[in-house]
Structure 1
Amino acid sequence: MTRRQPEYRLGGGTITDREAFYTALGAALNGPGGYYGGNLDALADCLRGGFGPTPPFTLVWRDAGIARSHLTGTVFLGERALSYFDAILDTLRAGGVAVDLR
């Protein structure tokens, strides 16, 4: 019998800047006022354990289009230039999180 991985829901309707993203993610994964990073490096650290759920898990990101339209700006991950939204997705997926954008 295959065990289903945990699923968390992130409401993206209020994610209009980076701070709002990390606040919403912390609440989605650790409850109100919860912490799960404050920048991409801290997010990667949290994904390694000790700050709440450790992957593998699924993040269902509702209203992701709102966040995508606001989390802009170029971030370089290695030699790749990504929008901040795409850099978040890359960091989550590299850390073992299955992301379901809705």
Structure 2
Amino acid sequence: MDKTKRFSNEVKERAVRLVMEVQGEYHSQWSAICSVAEKIGCAPETLRRWLRRQEINLGKRPGTTTEEIQKIRQLERENRELRRANEILRKAAAFFAQAELDRLQK
């Protein structure tokens, strides 16, 4: 199975929610993360990253939200496609301009 898709979104959401609910019972958030991570079978660092991403998405922590990241990626893809199209058009225009000059010189 693909490493990045080992856990479903439902499992990730449930794990994050569980950490948020039980962190008051532990002396630190890291202790709560370690406990929950052991129960669901993931690395504590993985769960910590999921928790940070959720905090950013909820506005509790500064950073770029998941929705904004997806929008940026989409815009970057569009930008690459437009640059490629412009390059093709530039080369085609140069080709046809040269062909016209050659035709006029004959």
When normalised by structure 1's length, the TM-score is: 0.28
Structure 1 or 2, whichever has the larger Rg, is 2
TM-score under structure 2 normalisation? 0.27
User: Which one has the bigger helix percentage?
Assistant: 2
